[in-house]
Amino acid sequence: MKMSEFARRRRQLIRMMGNGSIAIVPAAPERLRNRDVEYPYRQDSDLHYLTGFPEPEAVAVLVPGHRHSEFVLFCRALDPEREAWTGPRAGQKGAVDGFGADDSFPITDLDDILPGLLEGCERVFYTMGRDPEFDRRLIAWVNRIRENTRSGSRSPAEFISLDLLLHEMRLFKSAAELRVMRAAARITMEAHRRAMRRCRPGMGEYEVEAELLYHFRRHGADVAYPPIVGGGANGCVLHYVRNDAPLQDGDLLLIDAGAELECYASDITRTFPVNGRFTPAQRAIYDLVLKAQEAAIAKVRPGNHWNDPHQAVVRVFTEGLVRLGLLKGRPAQLIKDGAYRRFYMHRTGHWLGLDVHDVGDYKVDGKWRLLEPGMVLTVEPGLYIPAGGKGVARKWWNIGVRIEDDVRVTPEGREVLTGGLIRSADAIEAWMAGGD
Ligand code: GLY
Ligand code: MN
Ligand code: MN
């Protein structure tokens, strides 16, 4: 992504904050996995959104209207000895030349310099509670200024959650963001296609997972979240991530996996038969989930509200489950009673962007918010029927089906970013039989 995109975002935030404000955005901390081993580093999404800066131990500071330095980036100083171990750093010159900072200081100078930037600002935009250690430091800096008010210092009067402005910005995807999200979607679609093609009875779930990971890494992407690769009963466990069971002939396989590219997530679920052929019962459930998903996707358009796709799913599911004999009663009453929750216990989607469950409010003033062009959401209905349920015929046991796609709201309606990936039962069977 071009540096001008990050600069545009900073300008927008600076305009919204107004003079007399300061925004403070720390990098994500590095986290220990065990002893000397760290988890792979992933930058904080807010800091990435505003700067594209990939290193840990950094803090971005925006001061609208500041004489020379509206954007100050604190980051690690150059240190040839350390860099020999962990790779090159941007350093202060790199922060200015490569990342557009007006000024940059070593992160070790934060305690000395940041209070000076805070002093005289009326409003501090900051996300409290994400990093308790940094919260404490910020409070200490403000207290230091307060102690000096008798000698004329002015301490900030207001703390405002940065999320209010920044997460509203992140909710609406720019053309540059959509280009990356489409690329992440493309890699994910190809990976699912590959996994479907290579799946055979007797393989381990982890072998199918390996096909996904291989394709992601081959294209320079990472996982946006731990993939779910669940055969048979495991497909009914919503957050199954062990992926260590053998795949049985006659079972379904549910794969929920998405690539992350340049920090942007994709999020796709497909469900298909391990042996390439749906049983009639599996197909009946599959077709019902697909019908619900199509009804929900059709509800994605400007002016509809967030909950419209979910309501469409609930209606299609309830009527379908009555038809299949899995629910008994009048659909209208069953919907009122929430009877579908026995088989559909999650909601129909979430915002998607830098975070797989992306930021942005779902309600405004207590009401579901209206969909607007530029928002990206998932549509992911599913039905999960574990074995042994009271009154559930044996033929339905261990059928877990979810179908998930990523959808952008456009001025006219919608664009399914992941629409290039086969979805119908017939198309899946044809693809698994070696067709194209
Ligand atoms: N993969 C996480 C989700 O579907 O929400
Ligand atoms: Mn998913
Ligand atoms: Mn999802």
Ligand 2 centroid – CA 257 distance (Å): 6
Domains located in the chain, CATH noted: 3-169 (3.40.350.10), 172-432 (3.90.230.10)
Which atom of ligand 1 lies closest to the CA of 402? 4
Q: Which residue has the tokens 């220990």?
A: 32
The residue written with tokens 């010159």 in the block is: 93
Which residues neighbour 136 within 8 Å (Cβ) at sequence distance 6 or greater? Answer: none
Say if residue 341 is exposed, middle or buried (CB neighbours under 10 Å; 0-12, 13-18, 19+).
Answer: exposed
Q: Which residues contact 189 (CB under 8 A, 6 or more apart)?
A: 268, 418, 420, 421
Q: What is the pLDDT of residue 292?
A: 98
Query: Is 380 tagged catalytic?
Result: yes
Nearest to 47 by CA among 35, 32, 62: 62
pTM for this model (two decimals): 0.96
Please tell me the distance between residue 237's alpha carbon and the centre of ligand 1 in angstroms: 13
Check if 357 is active-site: yes
Output the tens digit of pLDDT for each of the chain's 436 residues. Answer: 999 999 999 999 999 999 999 999 999 999 999 999 999 999 999 999 999 999 999 999 999 998 889 999 999 999 999 999 999 999 999 999 999 999 999 999 999 999 999 998 999 999 999 999 999 999 999 998 888 877 777 788 899 999 999 999 999 999 999 999 999 999 999 999 999 999 999 999 999 999 999 999 999 999 999 999 999 999 999 999 999 999 999 999 999 999 999 999 999 999 999 999 999 999 999 999 999 999 999 999 999 999 999 999 999 999 999 999 999 999 999 999 999 999 999 999 999 999 999 999 999 999 999 999 999 999 999 999 999 999 999 999 999 999 999 999 999 999 999 999 999 999 999 999 998 8
Ligand 1 first shell, C-beta below 6 A = 225, 256, 267, 350, 356, 380, 404
Nearest ligand 1 atom to alpha carbon 228: 1
The pLDDT, as a whole number, for residue 374 is 98
Nearest ligand 1 atom, CA 269: 4
Cβ neighbours for 426, distance < 8 A, ≥ 6 positions apart: none
Catalytic residue flag (residue 426): no
Which residue, by CA, sits nearest to atom 3 of ligand 1? 267
Distance 350 CA to ligand 3 centre (A): 6
